[in-house]
Copies of this chain bind each other. A is one copy, B any other.
Amino acid sequence: MSLVVVGSIALDSIKTPAGEVNDVLGGSAIYASIAGKYFTDVSIVGVVGEDFPQAHIDLLNNREINIEGLVKVPGKTFRWKGEYLNLNQATTLDTQLNVFAEFKPVLTKGCKTNSVTFLGNIHPTLQLEVLDQIECSDIIAMDTMNLWIDITKNELTEVMKRVDLVFINEDEIKMYAQKSNIFEAIELILDLGVKYVVVKRGEYGAIVASRDDLFFVPVYPIRKVVDPTGAGDSFAGGFVGYLAKMKKYDFETIKQATIYGTITAANNIQSFSVENLQHLSETEIENMAGELKQWIKI
């Protein structure tokens, strides 16, 4: 059992109603890898610059995340600066692609035989390059963002057609499908041949849909949200990590995965960066998952 995560590695500067941080560890691959590692072996594939602090490398090593696919190249690490005026919507203040602009993801040999591959939110062209390198993967999942729907929708559609599971925000799936009704939008993605569509609805939880099944999960109630950055990535990471652990991909397992993804995301948003996400115990995760299941039990 193992999970390969391909995505961005960033130094984030973030302002929320709860405070402000500068150049902290972030990026889709980071959040997804740390969340996924609670359930399975994880290999991270990404790029950083020469300024990437050794402490962050140490953090990944300490968590026993395989960093063979993490390359360091000349230049500066990808930087994102954003602000949340409310906790549902980030405003991007600055994006510096830096070394990320020339990133060509390469799966290491070990990566090529794995049970689950997660293509975090990166340019669809890069996602296609990764898809071309996968020799065997039981299930391939992807995430995306509004930018790619705007500027490179055709390539994004090509990616979707080649994956098993699509994670996508509610606003984004409506935008992609050009449908205001979420259930119509889901059908349009399923029609591409995607087996599972997972709609991330922020504080309203998630919907998981296949051709024949539907499952709704609420958020785990959090009274004090500190920083929503990485919520979707830590949700996806916990989700696919659980799938890799179980090595089963039927709808019942997908439902359980949704619960576990919700729990890793709920922990992530209670601090800036990965501060809270990296300090969970198996017992905490199981207890929270049990509570969440109780709150939908009837």
Among A21-29, A95-103, A211-219, A271-279, which stretch is in contact with chain B?
A211-219
Question: In the complex, which residue of chain B has the Cβ closest to the Cβ of A181?
Answer: B223
- Would you call B255 and A298 a contact (CB within 8 A)? yes
A225 at the interface (CB under 8 A from B): yes
Question: When chains A and B are docked, how far (Å) is the Cα of A225 from the Cα of B181?
Answer: 9
A182 CB-CB contact with B under 8 Å:
yes
Answer yes or no: A247 CB below 8 A from chain B CBs: no
Stretch among A31-39, A139-147, A197-205 lining the B interface? A197-205
Size range of the chain A interface in the assembly: 20 to 34
- Out of B183, B218, B221, name the residue touching A221 (CB < 8 Å): B183
Residue A123 interfacial (CB < 8 Å): no
Scan residues 175-190 of chain A and give those whose CB is less than 8 A from a CB of chain B. Answer: 180-184
* Closest Cβ neighbor of A291 among chain B residues: B214
Bound complex: CA A293 to CA B224 (Å):
30
A216 B218 Cβ-Cβ under 8 A: yes
State A205–B298 Cα separation when bound (angstroms): 15
Determine the chain B residues whose CB is within 8 A of the CB of A296 once the complex forms: 215-216, 296, 298
Instruction: Give the shortest distance, in Å, between A207 (CB) and chain B (any CB).
Output: 8
Interface residues of A in 280-298 (CB under 8 A from B): 293, 295-298
Residues of B within 8 A of A90 (CB): none
**A214-273 interface with B by 8 A CB criterion:** 214-216, 218, 221-225, 255-256, 259
Bound-complex Cα distance A183 to B87 (A): 14
Once bound together, how far apart are the Cα atoms of A183 and B220, in whole Å? Answer: 11
Q: 6 tightest CB-CB pairs across the interface, nearest first?
A: A216-B218, A204-B204, A296-B296, A183-B221, A214-B295, A255-B298
